[in-house]
Amino acid sequence: MEHSLRREAASLNAPDDELRAPAVRVGSVVMHCRALAPMVEFWSRALGYTPHEAGRSEDWCRLDDPSCRVSLSLQVIPDLESGENKLHLDLYTPDQRGEVERLRDLGATVVRQARAGKDFVVMADPEGNLFCVVDKRVE
């Protein structure tokens, strides 16, 4: 009883953004690599994931988890620089605009808006770590 009263009192003082449930989930962890084919071969066999051939390109492949949990995406970055993320999260949401705003209010910054033909906004957390907010609206 005492714990529930404390939670109730805390929720009355919480900012609005803390009360709203996030409409975002980790959909994919993106690993940067220098060569796509050997990495697809290794990680698909290591994890038992299946390459998503429909979205595959010469520099990108998503490996889908057969249990429909978080996928692993591989992205070719030929000249990885020191200090550049080698991993980043793709956060999937049906409300990209709302989630970008919510994450901005929490301290993230927009690094790059979605480009023509792309479904993601690049953001940085308060320490500069990059992540993407991916539009996954059901149409």
Q: Could you list the pLDDT tens digit for every one of the 139 residues in the chain?
A: 444 444 444 444 555 555 677 888 898 999 888 889 998 998 889 789 999 988 899 999 999 999 988 999 999 988 877 656 688 889 999 999 999 999 998 899 999 999 998 899 999 888 788 889 999 886 5
Answer whether residue 6 is part of any domain: no
Answer whether residue 9 is part of any domain: no
Strands 25-33 and 71-76: parallel
| pTM, entire model | 0.65
Answer whether residue 92 is part of any domain: yes
Answer whether residue 11 is part of any domain: no
Answer whether residue 17 is part of any domain: no
Answer whether residue 36 is part of any domain: yes
Domain span including residue 74: 22-135
**CATH at residue 98:** 3.10.180.10
Answer whether residue 3 is part of any domain: no
Tally of structural domains, the chain? 1
Burial 4-22 (b: 16+ CB within 10 A, else e): eeeeeeeeeeeeeeeeeee
